[in-house]
Amino acid sequence: MSVSVNEITSQVIEVQTPGPQGIQGPAGSGSFTTPLTVGQLPASAQGTRAIVTDSTTSTFYAVVSGGGTLVVPCFFDGTFWRVG
């Protein structure tokens, strides 16, 4: 992690460096920016976001299923991973 200063606002900004799962948000935020396959999606906390590379649908709020060729953002609703 590194810290920089926004020259316009003089605000301190925390910049995260990628780890093995890509850049992850603050502890508990569960954001994965390294693309995953649907099979790699972990059981997670509600609101966790990810990008998958093998979705069969790009319909918003559809349950994500693997085996396709679509790259889509998705989120965990507490029960299912959904497109969105």
Is position 18 within any domain? no
Is position 16 within any domain? no
CA-CA distance, 2 to 22, in Å (whole number)?
Answer: 16
Is position 2 within any domain? no
- pLDDT digits 0-9 by tens, 1-58: 444 444 554 454 444 444 444 444 444 555 667 899 999 998 888 999 999 999 999 9
Looking at the structure of the chain, the number of domains it has is 1
Is position 17 within any domain? no
Structural domain containing residue 53: 26-84
CA-CA distance, 64 to 54, in Å (whole number)?
Answer: 9
pTM value > 0.75: no
Whether 81 shows a pLDDT value over 70: the answer reads: yes
Residue 1 vs residue 69, higher pLDDT: 69
Is position 3 within any domain? no
pLDDT value of position 75: 94
Is position 11 within any domain? no
Is position 83 within any domain? yes
**Across residues 45-72, what is the average pLDDT?**
96
